[in-house]
Structure 1
Amino acid sequence: MNDEENNDENITRVITPNKKKGEIYGIVEKLSGASRLTVMCEDGLSRNCRIPGKMKKRMWIREGDLVIVKPWDFQNEKGDIVYRYTRTQAAYLSRNRMLPEIIDVFNER
């Protein structure tokens, strides 16, 4: 029974950006107030993003957090925050080399 518990602990499911919907990774650079932030995205652009109403009360976002951003179709320099990773999830993605090099600030080296 102990082996089964270990197998369950090794399986960690982490949400990844849906490339078909245009979602990408980003690191929060600066909080601008009024639920707006500046996010450095994996494509090299720094976007002004907003926190949608359904996430505003549930999730606190700080500088340096790893997030999923959905850029707007009509203004590419702006976007919406879709998801925020915890420190543990970000370290897991970094360890398994699932983050692009430009975003990977969670190296433990």
Structure 2
Amino acid sequence: RLCRIRGKMKRRAWVRRGDIVLVSPWDFQSEERGDIIWRYRRDQAEWLRRNGYLEISR
């Protein structure tokens, strides 16, 4: 999926390959595009994995 970083988040967060992000699909082209609305820190991503909210798939 091709996503863009929201303006509010653009200046304060760097997103790299492998980061866990929360995406809001666009109303049109919802299967192809979306906005990144949150980037999880490493400790937050580990918490999500431990509590079953995130599956490990690579």
Q: Look up the match of 1:89.
A: 44
Displacement of 1:52 in angstroms is 1.2
Query: What runs of 5+ residues in structure 2 fail to find an aligned partner?
Result: none
Higher relative contact order (CA 8 A, sep 6+): 2
Q: Flag the structure with larger Rg.
A: 1
Paired residue total = 56
> Does 1:63 find its partner at 2:56?
no
Task: Report the Cα distance in structure 2 between the residues aligned to 1:93 and 1:52, rounded to whole angstroms.
Answer: 23
Moved over 6 A (4+): none
Paired AA for residue 90 in structure 1: A
What is the aligned-residue RMSD (CA, Å)? Answer: 1.0
Please, what TM-score do these two structures have when normalized by structure 2?
0.88
Which one of 48, 60, 78 corresponds to residue 33 of structure 2? 78
